[in-house]
Structure 1
Amino acid sequence: MGIVLLILAGIIEVGLAVYSIKTKSNQKRIRNWVRISALIVFVVFVTIIKWSLRWEIPAAVLLIFGIIAVISLLRNKEEKKYRPVGNIFKAVGTWVLIAVALLPAIIFPQHKAVAATGFYDVTTKMFTLTDDKRNETFTDSEEKRKVNIEFWYPKNAIGKYPLIVFSHGAFGIKASNSSTFENLASNGYVVVSIDHPYHSLYTRDSDGNMTLADQSFMQEVQDANNGVYDEETSFKLEQKWLKLRTDDINFVMNTIKQQASNQASDEVYQLIDTNKIGLIGHSLGGAAAAKLGRDRHDIAAVINLDADLLGGELGVKDGKPVINKDIYPVPLLSIYTDTMKNLMESVTDPNLVLPQKYISDTAPDAYEVFIKGTNHLSLTDLPVVSPFFAKMINGSTDKSTTAHAADKYKVLETMNEIVLEFFNSYVKDEGSFHAAKTY
Structure 2
Amino acid sequence: MSSAGSKGMFAMILLILLLFFEAALAACRIKTSSVCHGATAVLRAASVLILVALAALSVATWGFRYYAITAVLVVSAVVNAAGSLRKKEAGAKLLPARIIRRAAGMSALIIIALLPAVVFPEYRPLPTTGGHRVETATRHFSDEERTEAYTKQGGARELAVEFWYPENAEGSFPLVIFSHGSFGTRTSNETLFRELASHGYVVCSIDHTYQCLYTTDRSGKVLLINGEFMNDVRRENAREDKSRSLELYKEWMEVRTGDIAFVIETVKADASDAIHRLIDTEKIGVIGHSLGGAAVLGIGRMRSDIGAVVALEAPYLCDILDVQNDAFVLESAAYPVPVLNIYSDSSWPNLGKWPQYAKNVQLLSGSDKDIHNLHISGAGHLSLTDLSLASPILTRVLNGHSSSLNAEDCLRRINEECLAFFDRYLKEAGAFSIK
Scaled by the length of structure 1, the TM-score of the pair is 0.89
How far apart are residue 68 of structure 1 and its match?
Answer: 4.8
CA distance in 2: counterparts of 1:317 and 1:37, whole angstroms: 66
CA distance in 2: counterparts of 1:15 and 1:139, whole angstroms: 55
CA distance in 2: counterparts of 1:377 and 1:133, whole angstroms: 34
Q: Is the 8 A contact 1:132 1:144 kept in 2?
A: yes
Number of the residue aligned with 1:221: 233
Aligned partner letter, 2:186: K
CA offsets, 1:54-98, max 9 Å, x none? 12222333333445556667x585237231344333322322222
CA distance in 1: counterparts of 2:51 and 2:311, whole angstroms: 44
Number of the residue aligned with 1:282: 289
Q: Map 1:204-215 onto structure 2 (within 5 A).
A: 204-215=216-227
- Secondary structure at 1:339 match in 2: coil
CA distance in 2: counterparts of 1:5 and 1:187, whole angstroms: 40
- Secondary structure at 1:131 match in 2: strand
Number of the residue aligned with 1:405: 404
Distance 1:31 1:365, change over 3 A: same
Q: Map 1:302-313 onto structure 2 (within 5 A).
A: 302-309=309-316, 311-313=317-319
CA distance in 2: counterparts of 1:317 and 1:32, whole angstroms: 70
Number of the residue aligned with 2:381: 376
Number of the residue aligned with 1:325: 332
Aligned counterpart in structure 2 of residue 61 of structure 1, from 57, 63, 72:
72
Q: Map 1:96-245 onto structure 2 (within 5 A).
A: 96-225=108-237, 227-229=239-241, 231-245=242-256
Could you tell me which runs of 5 or more consecutive residues in structure 1 were left unpaired when the two chains were aligned.
Answer: 396-400
Number of the residue aligned with 1:386: 391
CA distance in 1: counterparts of 2:237 and 2:129, whole angstroms: 36
How far apart are residue 25 of structure 1 and its match?
Answer: 2.4
Aligned partner letter, 1:428: K
Could you tell me which runs of 5 or more consecutive residues in structure 2 were left unpaired when the two chains were aligned.
Answer: 1-9
CA distance in 1: counterparts of 2:430 and 2:375, whole angstroms: 22
Q: Is the 8 A contact 2:346 2:399 kept in 1?
A: no
Aligned partner letter, 1:277: I
CA distance in 2: counterparts of 1:242 and 1:353, whole angstroms: 15
Aligned partner letter, 1:291: G
Distance 1:110 1:363, change over 3 A: same
How far apart are residue 223 of structure 1 and its match?
Answer: 2.1
Aligned partner letter, 2:312: L
Distance 1:379 1:186, change over 3 A: same
CA distance in 2: counterparts of 1:433 and 1:374, whole angstroms: 23
CA distance in 1: counterparts of 2:193 and 2:320, whole angstroms: 30
CA distance in 2: counterparts of 1:374 and 1:388, whole angstroms: 14
Number of the residue aligned with 1:316: 322
CA distance in 1: counterparts of 2:240 and 2:304, whole angstroms: 37
CA distance in 2: counterparts of 1:226 and 1:278, whole angstroms: 29
RMSD: 2.3
CA offsets, 1:136-164, max 9 Å, x none? 11111122211111111222333322111
Number of the residue aligned with 1:335: 342
Q: Is the 8 A contact 1:169 1:282 kept in 2?
A: yes
Aligned partner letter, 1:285: G
How far apart are residue 8 of structure 1 and its match?
Answer: 1.4
Aligned partner letter, 1:281: G
CA distance in 1: counterparts of 2:381 and 2:433, whole angstroms: 24
Distance 1:207 1:228, change over 3 A: farther
Aligned partner letter, 1:407: N
How far apart are residue 362 of structure 1 and its match?
Answer: 4.8
Number of the residue aligned with 1:78: 88
CA offsets, 1:326-358, max 9 Å, x none? 1221111111112222122447x9xx9932243
Aligned counterpart in structure 2 of residue 252 of structure 1, from 253, 257, 263:
263
- Secondary structure at 1:238 match in 2: helix
How far apart are residue 379 of structure 1 and its match?
Answer: 0.9
CA distance in 1: counterparts of 2:138 and 2:66, whole angstroms: 26
Does residue 363 (structure 1) correspond to residue 368 (structure 2)? The answer is yes
Does residue 15 (structure 1) correspond to residue 5 (structure 2)? The answer is no
Does residue 433 (structure 1) correspond to residue 415 (structure 2)? The answer is no
Q: Is the 8 A contact 1:36 1:69 kept in 2?
A: no
CA distance in 2: counterparts of 1:381 and 1:104, whole angstroms: 17
Of all paired residues, the percent bearing the same amino acid is 36
CA distance in 2: counterparts of 1:123 and 1:66, whole angstroms: 44
- Secondary structure at 2:372 match in 1: strand
CA distance in 2: counterparts of 1:198 and 1:283, whole angstroms: 16
Distance 1:36 1:194, change over 3 A: same
Distance 1:317 1:33, change over 3 A: closer
Distance 1:284 1:33, change over 3 A: same
CA offsets, 1:142-193, max 9 Å, x none? 2221111111122233332211100011111111111111111121111111
- Secondary structure at 1:367 match in 2: strand
Aligned counterpart in structure 1 of residue 306 of structure 2, from 279, 286, 299:
299
Aligned partner letter, 1:294: R
Q: Is the 8 A contact 1:152 1:191 kept in 2?
A: yes
Q: Is the 8 A contact 1:338 1:374 kept in 2?
A: yes
How far apart are residue 194 of structure 1 and its match?
Answer: 0.7
Aligned partner letter, 2:249: E
Distance 1:383 1:342, change over 3 A: same
Does residue 26 (structure 1) correspond to residue 9 (structure 2)? The answer is no
Aligned partner letter, 1:117: T
- Secondary structure at 1:172 match in 2: coil
CA distance in 1: counterparts of 2:203 and 2:267, whole angstroms: 12
